[in-house]
Amino acid sequence: MSTNESVPHELPTWVHWEQRPFPDANLLLLDGREPALMDSGFVGHADRTAAWVERHTGRLHRVVNTHWHSDHVGGNSLLQQRGVGIAASTPDSDALKRRDPGCCAAEYLDQPVPPYDVDEALGDGDILTLGNADWEVITTPGHTPGHLAFWQPDERLLVVGDALSDYDVGWVSLAADGPDAGKAAVASLVRLADLRPRVLLTAHGPLPADTPAAFDHALRRAQRLVDDPDGAVWYGARRIFAFALMIRSGITTDEVEPYLHRQPWLVDAARLLHRTTEDISHELLDSMLRSGAAVAVDGRILAAAPHEHVDQHTLDVPFPRAWPPPGTAATG
């Protein structure tokens, strides 16, 4: 999709947007006095992200991350090596400085993230110049504890990351982030809805044509995550497994259940559901095949949702516990 094609709302000329299929997040470049890229996609397409940025601006001041999942920070390393600063929430920044094993949930989710450092830690109420306007930082925990949104009051633009999309809400991790993660997600959505934005700049899917309706739908979906904790666990498991299939070009039928048994997120799901890992992995695979979310083709289990191919060599990056010390990641 070309920049700003089929966008249901008028955007300022300095806002460049492009919808991207999974495993990437949408591209959003705010050009002008201080050009900024909101999130940087998946590592497998980092070169493509950098080339897109270069087509739209001669210089990039910073990448601003809504949160640290692999589909949002995968281009950070490449762009930082080219002199671009990285801004992210204070919780994410602090953990990255310590090189916590849980950084980016990369090891927990088995999703590759190349090493990067945060140059600028952001907190609630901070004001950043992004492109040609000042934006307010809004902390929106739920999908991750350090999730951020960004509000431009003059144009009434709201960058929401994975807090919601036109069709869904971000999954929550009750195991990793605690039983109140769903409640935090609902509270964040209420706070964002109260801003009454004109345009929701979502990280996945098309931009919502009806902003109030998108919030109403998201709030109902998020409340179900609170009311049905077991359902929230299954929802997260399906999303994580589908992403694994996407980035690995599928998994062989012989290997898929052993792969699932090894995953910390599935072990946690089994614990929360009071089931064995074998039971959960079998039911997860069976339910996704029956629903059409996954398909079996030529001895491989594939994700059925539209997504782009990933060259497998791009996945060969270390988990954060093995990253170089802080201050050296930008040197490659």
Per-residue pLDDT of the chain (332 residues; tens, 9 = 90+): 445 555 767 899 999 999 999 999 999 999 999 999 999 999 999 999 999 999 999 899 999 999 999 999 999 999 999 999 999 999 999 999 999 999 999 999 999 999 999 999 999 999 999 999 999 999 999 999 999 999 999 999 999 999 999 989 999 999 999 999 999 999 999 999 999 999 999 999 999 999 999 999 999 999 999 999 999 999 999 999 999 999 999 999 999 999 999 999 999 999 999 999 999 999 999 999 999 999 999 999 999 999 999 999 999 999 999 999 998 876 65
Strand, helix or coil at 119?
coil
Ordered alpha helix ranges (H), the chain = 46-56, 70-73, 76-81, 90-98, 106-109, 174-177, 181-193, 211-227, 229-247, 256-262, 264-273, 277-291
pLDDT of residue 327: 85
Q: What SS3 state is found at 141?
A: coil
Pairing mode, strands 36-38 and 62-64: parallel
Q: By CB neighbour count within 10 A (0-12 exposed, 13-18 middle, 19+ buried), where does 18 fall? A: middle
Residues 52 and 38 sit within 8 Å (Cβ to Cβ): no
Residue 67, helix vs strand vs coil: coil
**Could you give the CA distance from residue 71 to residue 109 in angstroms, rounded to a whole number?**
12
pLDDT at position 199, please?
A: 97
Q: Domain ranges for the chain, please list them.
A: 15-228, 229-315
Name the β-bridge partners of 267: none
Rounded to two decimals, the pTM is: 0.96
Q: What's the maximum distance between 2 C-alpha atoms anywhere in the chain?
A: 55
CA-CA distances (angstroms) from residue 208 to 9, 217, 218?
9, 11, 12
**The predicted structure's pLDDT at residue 58:** 85
Look at residue 155 in the predicted model and tell me its pLDDT: 97
pLDDT of residue 59: 92
Q: To the nearest 10°, report the CA torsion of 223, 68, 12, 78.
A: -160
The contacts of residue 289 (CB under 8 Å, 6+ apart) are 295, 296, 301
CATH number assigned to the domain with residue range 15-228, chosen from the 4 options 3.10.129.10, 3.30.70.141, 3.30.530.20, 3.60.15.10? 3.60.15.10
Query: So what's the pLDDT on residue 330?
Result: 67
pLDDT on residue 163: 98
Which residues have a Cβ under 8 Å from the Cβ of 122 and sit 6 or more positions away?
Answer: 64, 87, 88, 89, 90, 93, 128, 137, 148
C-beta atoms surrounding 136 within 10 Å: 16
